[in-house]
Amino acid sequence: MVRLRGAARPKRRSTPARARARGPPASSWRPPGPSWVSAEGSRRCWPASRSRACRGGVVNMRTANEKRQGRRVLSVIALLLSLACGEEAPTATAPAKPSVPTLPPVATSTSAPPASLTQLAVDSFDAGIEGWHSWGEEGALVEVAWDPTGQLLWSVDLQPATAAILIREWPELAGADGVTIRLRSRHRFSFLILAVQEADESGYGLILPLSAGRSTEYMLPFESFGLLDDSKDENGVLDSDQLSRLMIIDIAGFLGLPTPNEVEIGEVVLWSGTVAPFDLSCSAAGPATADADFRVGVDANYVPLGEQTGHGFTVGERSVDPIELFAANGADSFRVRLWLGDEGESKLSYATDVARRAQDAGLRPYLVLFLAEDWADVNKQPAPEAWADLSLDDRAEAIRSYTREAAQHFRDESVDIDFYEIGNEIDYGICGVFAEVTEERDPPSLRETIWPAEAQMIRSAIDGVREADPDARFMLHIANSWDPDFAVAFFQAMTDLGVTYDYVGLSLYPSAFGVAATSQFCSVLDALETEIGKPVILAETAYPAEPTTGGPFGDWRRPLPGYSLTSDGQARWVSDLLAGMRARSDVVGVYYFSPEFW
């Protein structure tokens, strides 16, 4: 049955998916972060929780502390330099104005130091499962059994909004630096949380995605773990010498994943030492994407909003136009957000100015047609108020008319749109048709209940654009970059349901999910290349230059091994990511989300 959703519902918390906060209206907008000052010099202290722009860092606008400010601006702006182009400085797509500085490039990482580990303890389950036990919330059925082949078998049958926990009291945890664990989900994709607890029961953890039927081994340093949402710690730092308990948490009941399921655990090893830096090479067979075809882009749609409130951007002591700065330092493309409406943030007038400004700087704009009046993403897909009560057919026709007019508007304004993205992070629906987190979200269920109606609206959006722009190209963009089976199922379903599109779009936020989920990204790319065969664009990605605190993205503080949450770690991460993506024949672009903020 097709479910049409109307106005946006209250946000629900979802552990594996990021929750995006709605930004305040332009009249009350203030930049996030604790150390902003206006152009007039008056200091503003504003909690980093009111706008999606607060995803992790402090925007480096004009501040009293010029030395600190200049250093941080440089780290943020250096993201989009020609970081993946080797040692040579980038060539701008358009001549830079004299006032726009060219910053030195950041070299990619060369040789990574090898892992140096000492084994402290191991559970191989050759003789039993002593020390392991499990419990579930009310309504959940759990069982722990020993498989004589040398595995722990954890059976879980969860009801909606319930979880189950597998626990190992382990004295050898004290002083350990990490854990290696081998797991396999027998029947379905699983989202598990691997966590450790200190003696005071403060917990740290990260997400483990498990594709059905595939054995996966994770090597996980505790320094990459983040403080759990419901946990508090006096010093906010994982103290390895205080660890006493290892936990595996199945949160399928909160994620719309079908149950029951069985998870096989083959071996668990505690170790001390240092792991090798995370491998971002992600290379695949075939020639690398030619430089002329590879897009290095930014989604910097908050720049005008900040300027409207009297804030400026600087490099050192020099005032700069950040969009021109990106263009002068290696960026060649720009992601433009468009929400329904004429006036206001990311609405038609605002988006037109952003697109024209990007184009004037020499950047190729591409347009995201959100089909919403505000944020729509993997956590929510509200229909515009005027469309909320329409039937599916009428809503599809309204979409067609809207996208035709939007595309024609930008052509009339002499803005050349590189390509169009229909919706934003449309994994579970679009424009009011949406599977909530308490509903079934596995591909077979979505194929039956959500994706057919979603495909109908996407087809209408594409038809509308083509009426105004016959040569238009299109991208479909999902957030899921951790489950190869889901990614393939979504894009195959769209093809089977008659949607014609040119690019596959993905999001990648390593500090949100951690090293385990990020390690599956290359597998997703490989699966899409083999099964779908369309060019891939990384439509959103970011890596903060400092640990995030407070607000809806306050727990996006899980560093990848070898890439600290510092200016240097951020610059090297972006450099290595771009180098890795350029080395693939199937990836044709990377867009950094809100570099003006983090």
pLDDT of residue 548: 75
pLDDT tens digits along 509-544: 999 988 999 999 999 999 999 999 999 999 999 999
CB atoms within 10 A of CB 521: 22
Q: In which band, very low, low, confident or very high, does the pLDDT at 107 lie, cut at 50, 70 and 90?
A: low
Q: How many CA atoms lie within 13 A of 350 on its CB side?
A: 23
Q: What is the pLDDT of residue 81?
A: 45
pLDDT at 86: 36
pLDDT of residue 555: 72
| Residue 99 placed within a domain | yes
In this prediction, residue 226 carries a pLDDT of: 87
Mean pLDDT in the chain?
Answer: 83
Shared domain check, 449 and 316: yes
pTM of the model: 0.84
Residue numbers of the domain that contains 81: 26-110+298-546
Shared-domain flag, residues 96 and 130: no
Does the residue 291 lie in any domain?
Answer: no
Q: Would strands 132-136 and 295-299 be described as parallel, antiparallel, or unpaired?
A: unpaired
Q: Say if residue 171 is in the same domain as residue 235.
A: yes
Residues composing the chain: 598
| Strand 190-198 with 243-250, pairing | antiparallel
More confident residue, 554 or 411: 411
- Residue 471, judged by CB atoms within 10 A of its CB (0-12, 13-18, 19+), counts as exposed
* 146-183 pLDDT tens trace: 999 999 999 999 988 889 999 999 999 999 999 999 99
Asked if 382 and 7 count as a contact pair (C-beta separation under 8 A), the reply is yes
Q: Same domain for 76 and 200?
A: no
Same domain, residue pair 376 and 308: yes
- Assigned domain for 530 exists: yes
> If pLDDT is split at 50, 70 and 90, which confidence band does 108 have?
low
Q: What is the residue-wise DSSP string for 545-584?
A: SS---SSTTTT---PBTTB-SSHHHHHHHHHHHHHHHHT-
Distance CA 498, CA 471 (A): 18
At 465-501, the pLDDT tens digits run: 999 999 999 999 999 999 999 999 999 999 999 999 9
Domain match, 80 and 142 both: no
Pick the closest to residue 376 from 310, 444, 426 (CA basis). Answer: 426
CATH classification of the domain holding 427: 3.20.20.80
Structure tokens at 469: 């722009």
* pLDDT tens digits along 41-59: 332 222 232 233 333 333 3
For residue 190, tell me if it sits in a domain: yes
Is residue 30 pLDDT above 90, yes or no? no
Q: What is the pLDDT of residues 190-245, one digit of tens each?
A: 889 999 999 989 999 999 999 899 999 999 999 999 888 788 888 888 999 999 99
Q: What is the pLDDT of residue 109?
A: 62
The whole-number pLDDT of residue 138 equals 86
pLDDT more than 90, % of the chain: 64
* Pair 94, 217 in one domain: no
* pLDDT score, position 490: 98
Residue 423 lies in a domain: yes
State how many domains the chain has: 2
pLDDT band at 347 (very low <50, low <70, confident <90, very high): very high
Task: Specify the pLDDT at position 228.
Answer: 87
Say if 575 falls within a structural domain. Answer: no
Give a yes or no: residue 16 inside a domain: no
Per-residue DSSP letter, 380 = B
Does residue 130 sit in the same domain as residue 39?
A: no
Assigned domain for 464 exists = yes
Indicate the helix (H) or strand (E) that contains 333.
strand 333-338
Give the end of a domain, one of 507, 527, 546: 546
The CATH number assigned to the domain holding 173 equals 2.60.120.430
Mark whether 391 and 511 lie in a shared domain: yes
